[in-house]
Amino acid sequence: MTVIAPVLILSTGRCGSTMVSEMLNRHPKVLSLSEFFVPLGQGAFAFANPDGARMWRVYAEQSAALHAMLKDGNVVDEALYDFDVPGARWQAPTLPPIAAVTLPHLSDDPEALFDELEPVVRALPGMPLADHYRALFGYLMKKYGRAVWVERSGGSLMLAAKLLRLFPDARVVHVFRDGRDTALSMLNHHNFRVLVAAIHRARRLGIDPCDRFLADRGSRLDYWMQQIAFRFMDVARLTEDSPSVVDLGAFWSRLIQTGERVFRHLGPDRRLDVRFEEVQSSPRDQLRRLIRFIDPSLEDESWTEEAAGMIRPTRSKFTTLPPEQQRLLTEACAPGLKLLGYAA
């Protein structure tokens, strides 16, 4: 049996990558892992040779950063766990990171799947970090009869260097959208507002967290510093001085530049660029490109038709802004727009 190399869908977030996860989840041979790595926080990369007990804590316990965002009940639209179902085990402040999106994306009973995975993960011995992830993903592939795993988290360009070091055989699908519309979407997203506000506060202290986006491995120091910083952070107060759309445009551009530095060396056999606007205008052609890139053996016209029917038409909101705001936002996004071939 031919082994299909794994795929990492990398993006800034707010660019249609969630839609790509949903479409791939309909493919009978693709294990679509939605929002797996980003919700785990720095703990996902802090330990070089953890044992199963340590990994289960990473999967099951909120990092300080995630808890800061969820403790007041601010749950973003991407979250799939149903807090309102009778007998729901968790509420937002106690929700395990892998139960927010990843498990409900795979199963109609995410609590049962969570319970099934615990002894499997805990039984794993101390071993390299990447082997833990491959063991978990391999278990899920076998359980669901899938041939390849594809992971996608919103904002995963922040983790691109670390993910490609862990999975050097992985192929990259870079999903992106015009940064001006992406920034406007980020402006209405609680987690991105908190993230950029926290970055601005750190910069006032002489620290630029974005510099760490290029680091190809985590550390316990990174982990503990984030734990301490967010444990004492008042998110409501932090976002009183909410970042502007121009701030978010500059953040988007920084992420695009980070991605280009991390994976610009990858050839066409290892990297596929997927432009949101082209998926909107010619969905079937773009879906065929995507599935052929993952592996030609997975081409399936019935899946292509089903997935194409899931696409929701979206109009640009950038052009509705006043001219001066358009100018300022375009200037903030300009470096990223140039790299991606958008007219500035």
What average pLDDT does this structure show over 312-328? 95
Compute CA distances 285 → 23, 103, 282, 291, whole Å. Answer: 14, 30, 6, 10
Question: Rounded to whole angstroms, how far apart are CA atoms 299 and 292?
Answer: 6
Q: Which of 78, 38, 76 is nearest to 58 (CA)?
A: 38
When pLDDT is averaged across residues 134-163 and rounded to a whole number, the result is 98
The answer to whether 156 and 163 have CB atoms below 8 angstroms apart is yes
Residue 172 makes CB contacts below 8 A (sequence gap 6+) with 7, 8, 9, 10, 160, 164, 263, 266, 270, 271, 272
Rounded-to-integer distance, Cα 27 and Cα 326, Å: 39
Q: For residue 208, give both structure tokens.
A: 């630029």
Dihedral sign (CA 44, 182, 180, 323): negative
Residue 147 has pLDDT above 70, yes or no: yes
**Under 8 Å between Cβ of 136 and 129:** no
Round the average pLDDT of the chain to a whole number and report it. 95
Q: 254-279, pLDDT tens digit by residue?
A: 999 999 999 999 999 999 999 999 99
Strand partners, 268: none
Question: Which residue stretches of the chain are H helix?
Answer: 17-24, 37-40, 52-60, 64-70, 97-100, 102-106, 110-122, 129-144, 160-166, 179-187, 190-204, 220-231, 235-238, 245-263, 276-281, 283-294, 301-308, 323-340
Q: Tell me the pLDDT tens digit for each residue of 179-212.
A: 999 999 999 998 999 999 989 988 988 989 999 9
With CA atoms as reference, report the closest residue to 15 among 180, 257, 177: 177
Structural domains of the chain ordered from first start = 7-340 (3.40.50)
1 confidence band (pLDDT: 50, 70, 90) = low
Encoded tokens for 18 = 């969630």
Parallel/antiparallel/unpaired status of strands 171-176 and 271-275: parallel
Three-state DSSP at 8 gives: strand
